[in-house]
Every structure is written in C-alpha cells, then in structure tokens.
Structure 1
Amino acid sequence: MTNELMACTCLHHVHRNTFCKHMAAVENATDDGTLEAFPSEDNEDDTEPEDCDCDGLDDFPCWPCVQTGRTELPN
C-alpha cells in the first residue's frame, strides 16, 4: 500500500481490477499490527445488515454480509 492507493497480486484483483479479500484484511488491520481475519463466534449475528444487497447476486454474498460475518465468500 502506498499513500492512498492499494494493490494486490492475487488473481481476483489483477484480472478483475477490483477490491479483494486481501485488501479488506489490510484495511481492517489495527494500529498494533494485529488482524481479526475471522470474527469470533461470539460476535456472529445472523441478522441481515441494513445495507445488504445479496438479492440479485445469484447466491453470491454482498460485502456488508461478508464484513459482518453473516456469510462467507466462496473459495
């Protein structure tokens, strides 16, 4: 990451030129260098986020649902 720009070498970012899960991990890293890559089960909430946009994505989860831990990205 340089200045405000972020890039990744994963195929998702390289071929689709879009925000990837690796960028999300870096963006969510805390100041002390730790990273909560997988939310703990205690924090899981099955309620739909207000900005959920899963409808129309053909069973692919929207980013708000992934970010809150409601659903996971497929491999």
Structure 2
Amino acid sequence: MTTPLANLETTSRVRKRAQYEALEFELQNGDVRVRNGSYADPENHEYTVCIEDDLPTACTCPADAKYSEACKHRVAVALRRPILDAVRHHQLLADGGETVQPSNQVRDHKENSEEQPEIDESDCDCADFSSDFPCWECYRTGRRDLPE
C-alpha cells in the first residue's frame, strides 16, 4: 500500500517544512483549510487544499501555482492520515455513501495525556524523509524526536 505522500512529487525541504511549521487544519466542505500559525499574521496565511481520491491535488497558495511540485500545505495534509480519513468520511456523506467507522489505531492524545496512542507501523512515513527527521505520527506519539 502506498502512502499519499508517495504519490506527491515534492522536495525534502518542503517535506520538512510541512512537519515542523505550526500548521492548523479545518475541514471545509470536503476540502481542508490550512492555516500557518508560524507567522505573526496567520490569518493572511490560510489556504484551501483540495482532496480527490484521498490525495491532496491542489492548493490555493502561491507556491502551488508557481512550482510543479506539491506545496507544503498539500504535503502536510498527505502526512496526516486522520485528516484524510475525515475528508473521506465527509465526502462519503456528501455523496450519499455509507459512513466509514474511524480507525481506533490512532486515538486523540488529548483524551489521555498519560497514555501514548498505539500506532500501526503502516502509519509511519519516516522512510519518506531523511534519516534524521521523523514523520508526524512518530513525532506526535513520542517515538522519535525532532533533530536539534
């Protein structure tokens, strides 16, 4: 099974930025609004990522229009399986399809801050990054730390 990230052409610099920048995500009618909280004025750094067949295919940011590779917003969405799952669930409902039960493999870490969520190895995208940089799931769950 290939990961959504494996289906995007991008650079390692963009992959890293998609992981370490303070990005916030909001589901909006089958698309994802990505807001970059790393800026002093994050309201001026909000873009919409379009999702088709579980793949971020377009973004309204200037970089996605200018370059042939995927922008950091599309990569950030591709890295976060729970976001893609939520989009798929919403799109199924909007299309009149049946709902899909969410996976219990990744639990919200806010539910029980003392207990680490269980991660299926298939959710790990570390192989797609340089050896010193963890994927979001490994970082979020504490399996790997960011390099110094």
| Structure-1-length-normalised TM-score | 0.38
Q: Which has the higher strand share?
A: 2
| Structure-2-length-normalised TM-score | 0.23
Larger radius of gyration: 2
Q: Which has the higher contact order (CA 8 A, sep 6+)?
A: 2
